[in-house]
Structure 1
Amino acid sequence: MQINNLSETPSILNTYMSELRDKDIQKDSMRFRRNIERIGEIIGYELSKSLHFEPHTIETPLGSSDTVLHKSDIVLCSILRAGVPLHNGLLNYFDGAENAFISAYRQHQKNPESFEIIVEYLACPSLEGKTLILADPMLATGQSMVATFDALKPFGKPKDIHIVSVIGAQQGVDFISNAFDEDTKLWIAAIDKNLNEKGYIIPGLGDAGDLAFGNKLQQ
């Protein structure tokens, strides 16, 4: 897997990341969602540099202009519900993309420290020969990302796969590196070192879904 860690180069991204992590600023759920969306836009721009481009001529009112435009057939797939703001940010840049959505969540058994990933709702176009962008803001254990990709396999084999996350744990990055093909590209805004005993990223930022959309009742 090719890992593109955007935090290795200082940029305006640092501002949005610091606000996401700040326990006081993140109380503003609208600002939290907007910051994830803006990070999605930044990652989308960086990701676009790796797409396939072809020459194109544009006719202007006064003549013609030669340029190159991306020719990748993109399917943007996000994991509900936390992935929605990130999806919107990517879609702002890839507005011609097809869209897929999947629900994947942790189901805890008697031991609150153990869980399995449950995939239920799934809506997806054909992936055959297309560029698949898998988006989930938090890459903790990596199990949700792998379960999502497994659920998408009946829809065809993508030509290229890009994984987009805001924050990941090194353990999760290592897990998906072993699970995905070596040509898969990971685009991530920050990689933290640790997971706690419940599988949450440390220092991370908390529960992205709850911060974006409100607390949920536990099943």
Structure 2
Amino acid sequence: MHIHYLSEENTVLNHFLAQIREATIQKDSMRFRKNIERIGEVMAYELSKTLEYETINIQTPLGIKKTTQISDKIVLCSILRAGLSLHTGFMNIFDAADNGFVSAYRHHPNNDDEFVIKVEYQAAPDLEDKSLILIDPMLATGQSIVAVLEKLNAEEKPKRIDIAVAIAAPEGVQYLQESLPENVHLWVASLDEKLNEKNYIIPGLGDAGDLAYGIKL
């Protein structure tokens, strides 16, 4: 798996990352969603440099201009519900992309810290020979991403798979490296220190879905 750590360079991305972590700022849910969206826009721009392009001619009012445009057929797919704001950022950049949505959550059958990933709702377009960008703001254990990719890959095979996460734990990155093919690209806005005993990212930022959309039952 190819891994891209985007926060290693000093860019405005780190400014947005700092604001989604800051406990006083993140209390403003609208601002939190907007910052996640802006992180998605920056990540989409960086990812766009690695896509395939074709040469085209553009007719201007005064002549012809040769330029390039993306030739990949892109499908953006986010994991509900936390992925929606990050998805919007990617959609702002890849405005011609098709879009898909999958629900995945931690199910605690014994009401303790042990959990299994349940993937239920899925609404996705045809993925055959497409460029799939799977979007999820938090990469903790990595189990949700692997479970969703297994479901999406069951019948249709994209030609390229990119995974975009805002914040990742080393354990999750390692799990993806062990579970996914070599040709998958992982884009990480920021790599954190570790997972705690409950498999939450430290220092992390809390529950991204709750911060963006309110506390769930």
The TM-score, its normalising length taken from structure 2, stands at 0.98
Deviation at 1:112, TM superposition (A): 2.1
Q: Which deviates further from its counterpart, 109-118 or 84-93? A: 109-118
Q: Which residue in 1 is equivalent to 2:13?
A: 13
Contact 1:20 1:32 in 2 (8 A): yes
Kindly tell me the number of residue pairs found equivalent between the two proteins.
217
Deviation at 1:177, TM superposition (A): 1.2
Q: Which residue in 2 is equivalent to 1:143?
A: 143
Partners of 1:98 and 1:20 in 2: CA distance:
27
Partners of 1:135 and 1:205 in 2: CA distance:
17
Amino acid at match of 2:165: S
Partners of 1:153 and 1:15 in 2: CA distance:
35
Is structure 2 residue 90 aligned with structure 1 residue 105? Answer: no
| Per-residue CA distance 1:119-157 (angstroms, 9 max, x = gap) | 110011111101000000000000000000011013411
The Cα RMSD (Å) is 0.8
Q: Which residue in 2 is equivalent to 1:193?
A: 193
Structure 2 unaligned regions, length at least 5: none
| Per-residue CA distance 1:4-42 (angstroms, 9 max, x = gap) | 101111111111111111111100000000000000000
Q: Which deviates further from its counterpart, 124-133 or 146-155? A: 146-155
Q: Which residue in 1 is equivalent to 2:29?
A: 29
Amino acid at match of 2:154: P
State the SS of the aligned residue for 1:154: coil
Q: Which residue in 2 is equivalent to 1:203?
A: 203
Partners of 1:4 and 1:61 in 2: CA distance:
40
The TM-score, its normalising length taken from structure 1, stands at 0.97
Structure 1 unaligned regions, length at least 5: none
Q: Which residue in 2 is equivalent to 1:130?
A: 130
Deviation at 1:179, TM superposition (A): 1.3
State the SS of the aligned residue for 1:34: helix
Amino acid at match of 1:158: P
Partners of 1:172 and 1:140 in 2: CA distance:
5
